[in-house]
């Protein structure tokens, strides 16, 4: 039986892969807004959001594969 606050490695891997796929889908929308010159700032905001999303995904996957036990207080 798991203790309180312990999350298994599979949950981290699933979350990291979900964020990775979501970021790749979201970057497609960012590229489509590049054509519209009236609201190009939307594309730049979407690109910055995708970069943060991919960084978070990478950190979660590194934590899942290289990290030890994670205890949350």
The residues spanned by each domain of the chain are 24-66
CA 14, CA 29: separation in Å to the nearest integer? 23
Q: Which is nearest to 46 in space by CA: 72, 61, 24?
A: 24
Q: Rounded to two decimals, what is the model's pTM?
A: 0.70
pLDDT at residue number 3: 57
Residue given tokens 């950190």 in the structure block:
59
Indicate the average pLDDT of the chain. Answer: 82
CA 34, CA 44: separation in Å to the nearest integer? 8
Inter-CA distances, 10 with 7, 17, 37, Å? 8, 11, 43
Q: Supply φ then ψ for residue 68, to 5 degrees.
A: -90, -145
pLDDT at residue number 5: 59
What is the pLDDT averaged over residues 23-44?
Answer: 86
């Amino acid at each position: 039986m798991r203790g309180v606050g312990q999350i298994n490695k599979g949950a981290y891997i699933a979350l990291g892969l979900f964020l990775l796929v979501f970021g790749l889908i979201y970057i497609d929308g960012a590229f489509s807004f590049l054509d519209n010159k009236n609201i190009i700032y939307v594309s730049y905001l979407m690109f910055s959001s995708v970069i943060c999303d991919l960084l978070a995904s990478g950190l979660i996957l590194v934590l899942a594969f290289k990290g030890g036990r994670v205890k949350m207080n």
